[in-house]
Structure 1
């Protein structure tokens, strides 16, 4: 009786240990979204909720309309943003994130796999379980890699905080909420009414 040859299936690594790169990331076949931050793997616990999706959609279309005819382009997750430090080679990149929304104004950073380099604007909408990742870990890598502006939105509290890069360090805005209008320094001329973003949720 002939034995069937074993299939060469890539075994999912034990992410609790080890450090990984984008070259490793490309070999994984998983159902859920994962991000790589300084070599460590972070899984998304669950799909974004309805309020998260509504906020993301409203901001995406506001940005999309504003950017018509301009050199910048807006992207929504899932969309890989690779943040190289010393080298742009896959085996040396240890941070790959999927921001909820990002705007890229340098067309040379866009390729068939996503964005290679720091976007001009990144927007993250907090979800249960990812607050530490977005408020600390992503803050640190976005600042270090030169993301000009980082927006953090808290859906439950209906608030928005903007971090603007100033001499390689983030400067925090005041906390914006309903009734406020926010203005982007990274995208001159772009304004967003938070009543529009949070209204009807």
Structure 2
């Protein structure tokens, strides 16, 4: 099955993105830059964060993108918080949800609501080193290669079908911080490319495997 918004995005009718953030927002910035430059036929229509002081919110506001904090403590449980999150995304007409350092596990109901329309970036070569502190996990395990993964979000933690990956050497003197710094530019590049592939309807899901269709030659 094709993984897309049910239409081909164009510069005249760009794909509508909603981005969920918790921290610095460097992956958000990569998407903001790519949409502003026309590198991808997409537009970020809303940015939402579970943390009031997330620098990512200010990045969005500087770019003229509506941005808001939703406080999880104001809701009785995870399900009601995620339901509000989903409503805000739907009200903005979001066609693809991008998790950019969003530090919460989404509920199954949220995932079903946006089935095959949620992308996440993770700083390891999944399925290795899922969850928190992936760089530290990779160094402790002694792997020679780590990297990053863009994947579709399912009901598990970093268990969804893999869209794109990039490998990065793990050096003998690496710290979690130095490894993360070398992985980060690859995260930015792959996230933009994954959104471009989604917008151009070039992703096909076959079981757990995501196949990338060749780019069509201009007519």
- Identify the TM-score tier after normalising by the shorter chain: under 0.3
TM-score, normalization: structure 2? 0.25
TM-score (norm 1): 0.26
Higher relative contact order (CA 8 A, sep 6+): 2
Higher share of residues assigned helix: 2
